[in-house]
Amino acid sequence: MSAEVTPEHSEAVLVAAQWLADQTPPPSRAVPALKGRFNLSALEACQAIAMADRFRTLRRAHG
């Protein structure tokens, strides 16, 4: 699965989203986990969470 890095999504956000999408179960406090592990801002952590949700949806839809 590939995602395009756009100006509003840095490479760090993409990496964090991929990591989060692979976590089973995901951390209960995702924003602090992403901020600590990937040195993201709160906004970037939220972007990574939204991207991870899209990744999970696409995985379920396309196997």
pLDDT above 50 (res 1): no
Q: Is the peptide bond before 7 cis (omega within 30 degrees of 0)?
A: no
Q: Hey, how many other C-beta atoms are within 10 angstroms of the C-beta on 49?
A: 19
The pLDDT, as a whole number, for residue 4 is 57
Domain ranges of the chain: 17-62
Write out pLDDT tens, residues 14-52. 999 999 999 999 999 999 999 999 999 999 999 999 999
- What is the model's pTM? 0.83
Q: Which residues contact 34 (CB under 8 A, 6 or more apart)?
A: 16, 20, 40, 44, 45, 48, 49
The pLDDT, as a whole number, for residue 5 is 52
The pLDDT, as a whole number, for residue 3 is 59
Q: Which residues contact 27 (CB under 8 A, 6 or more apart)?
A: 20, 33
pLDDT above 60 (res 9): yes
